[in-house]
Amino acid sequence: MFESGVWRAGVLHENPMAMTLGLAIGRVADGRIHAATGIGSMGLELQVVDEAQLLPPALHIPVDAARALCDALVQHFGGTSNSKQLRADYDAERARTDKLMDAVLSIAAGRTS
């Protein structure tokens, strides 16, 4: 799951009864896995672990909190968490592309006749 120097995150476990997700967040530095074991006032609390210690996950959050966090991160990084808005954006882009292709094909047809 982890490669050197790159931050990685993953859902390792879902507990439907408690409605929580078990998360792993960390990175490899100096050949060792530095995994988040908590979130404190100074940010992620990291601990050196081996892969076997990733299960069970140290971080558990409610599913509803995970959805809210996902939405906030998607919006922060310039996306949309609203699938209807995303579909509308795709449809508008497709219409624009279709119009452009019609114009290009008209020009090409005019040159070959």
Residues 11-61 pLDDT 10s: 988 899 999 999 989 998 888 889 998 888 988 899 998 887 777 888 899
Structure tokens at 96: 């624009």
Tokens of 57: 């996950």
Backbone angles phi, psi at 63, to 5 degrees: -55, -40
More confident position, 111 or 27: 27
Q: Is the pTM of this model over 0.75?
A: no
Give me the long-range contacts of 34-38 (CB less than 8 A, separation at least 24). Answer: none
Q: Does residue 105 have a pLDDT over 80?
A: yes
β-pair partners for 62 = 20
Polymer length in residues for the chain: 113
| Backbone phi and psi for residue 5, each to the nearest 5 degrees, phi listed first | 80, -15
Burial 12-50 (b: 16+ CB within 10 A, else e): eeeeeeeebbbbbbbbbeeeebbbbbeeeeeeeebeebe
- The whole-number pLDDT of residue 112 equals 61
